[in-house]
Amino acid sequence: MTVALRTSPALDARSKYLRSLVIDGLSAGRGHVGSPLSVIEILRVLYDDVLNVRPSEPEWDERDRFILSKGHGCLALYAILADRGFFPIEELKHFCKPGALLGGHVDAHVPGIEASTGALGHGLPIAVGIALAARMQHRSSRVFIVLGDGELGEGSVWEAALAAGKHKLDGLTAIVDANQLQSYGAVEDVLPLEPLADKWRSFGFAVREIDGHDIRSLRETFAALPFERGRPNAVIARTIKGRGIGYAELNPAWHHKSSLDAKAIDELRAALDAN
């Protein structure tokens, strides 16, 4: 099944606000654009409604863990963490500048970041290890991870998926940001993945497939975890790369921009306002 996305609910005020924070980060002059915009709603629901975390105590032992395996989508996570108070929101405007807290891929020295990622394919192996550790230490902590669909071409993802199924890690939830594009083209052209849900099921996962921009669907899906006792969870979140900026949606030219001037930033803000 492929979820139709052109009927996704319109962006509400909070989703627009979080995107405006992403643009604040881009105002530093560079960064990935399309990738963070496809995961805003997923991260919003996780941090607003699901994850048991403490912004004032980011190293709290009993916290749930979240890993953004597609580390280049970092501006979405930075926006959420800043909004929730893990670090000052002003840090966004220093994104990628020399000596700044926030770099171009997520880094574990940033409060609220569990693992440094960006070399694709590493996040799920880390998440499996964390989930196993939680079981061995008799902690109730859950582990959530967001992977990009283009990232699934990495063999380490599927090796980790095999281990998750073998160990029946029902406290682990892998969320695929299925936004249809990767850095050099459509996922379907580079390395086709469908039937994607069936692949995860064959590795022992219980699977749900949803519209990754639908806040209600995301809340209902995460509230149903674990989907089956004794099986790790996979959520295939069908999304639109660049969501919220009309001319950037499903446009590979907006995967990353190495030079964004004040005019380009103003155009991004205007496009978001007009959404």
The mean pLDDT of 254-270, rounded to a whole number, is 96
Pairing of strands 65-68, 143-148: parallel
pLDDT for 4 beyond 50: no
Residue 7 within any structural domain of the chain? no
Does residue 15 contact residue 244 with C-beta atoms inside 8 Å?
Answer: yes
Q: What is the pLDDT of residues 131-151, one digit of tens each?
A: 999 999 999 999 999 999 999
Does residue 14 contact residue 43 with C-beta atoms inside 8 Å?
Answer: no
Torsion of CA 239, 197, 63, 213, to 10 degrees: 20
pLDDT for 120 beyond 60: yes
Residue 84 within any structural domain of the chain? yes
Residue 188 within any structural domain of the chain? yes
Q: What is the pLDDT of residues 160-218, one digit of tens each?
A: 999 999 999 999 999 999 999 888 888 899 899 999 999 999 999 999 999 999 999 99
Q: For residue 118, what pLDDT band results from cuts at 50, 70 and 90?
A: confident
Q: Which CATH number is 168's domain given?
A: 3.40.50.970
Q: What is the pLDDT of residues 40-63, one digit of tens each?
A: 999 999 999 999 999 999 999 999
The mean pLDDT of 114-120, rounded to a whole number, is 94
Residue 6 within any structural domain of the chain? no
Pairing of strands 256-257, 233-238: unpaired
Q: Which of 116-125, 148-157, 179-188, 247-256 has the lowest mean pLDDT?
A: 179-188
250 residue type, one letter: L
The mean pLDDT of 21-32, rounded to a whole number, is 96
The mean pLDDT of 263-268, rounded to a whole number, is 97
pLDDT for 2 beyond 70: no
Residue 55 within any structural domain of the chain? yes
Is the sign of the CA dihedral 46, 52, 54, 59 positive or negative?
A: negative
Residue 4 within any structural domain of the chain? no
Cα 40 to Cα 68: distance, rounded to the nearest angstrom = 12
Does residue 238 contact residue 193 with C-beta atoms inside 8 Å?
Answer: no
Q: For residue 9, what pLDDT band results from cuts at 50, 70 and 90?
A: confident
pLDDT for 125 beyond 90: yes
pLDDT in the model for residue 183: 82
Q: For residue 5, what pLDDT band results from cuts at 50, 70 and 90?
A: low
**Domain residue limits at 139:** 13-274
pLDDT for 3 beyond 70: no
Residues in CB range of 122: below 8 A, 6 or more apart: 69, 115, 156
Does residue 151 contact residue 72 with C-beta atoms inside 8 Å?
Answer: no
Q: From residue 169, give the alpha-carbon distance in Å to each of 66, 137, 147, 236.
A: 15, 14, 17, 18
- Cα 31 to the chain's mean position, in Å? 16
Q: What is the pLDDT of residues 71-85, one digit of tens each?
A: 999 999 999 999 999
Q: How many domains, in total, are found in the chain?
A: 1
Residues in CB range of 36: below 8 A, 6 or more apart: 22, 73, 74, 75, 76, 77, 79
Cα 184 to Cα 80: distance, rounded to the nearest angstrom = 27
Residue 2 within any structural domain of the chain? no
Q: Counting every residue, how long is the chain?
A: 275
- Cα 233 to the chain's mean position, in Å? 16
274 residue type, one letter: A
Helix axes 155-166, 123-136, angle to 10 degrees: 20
Residue 56 within any structural domain of the chain? yes
Average pLDDT across the chain, whole number: 95
Residues in CB range of 38: below 8 A, 6 or more apart: 73, 177, 179, 212, 239, 240, 241, 242, 243
102 residue type, one letter: L
Q: What is the pLDDT of residues 90-114, one digit of tens each?
A: 999 999 999 999 999 999 999 999 9
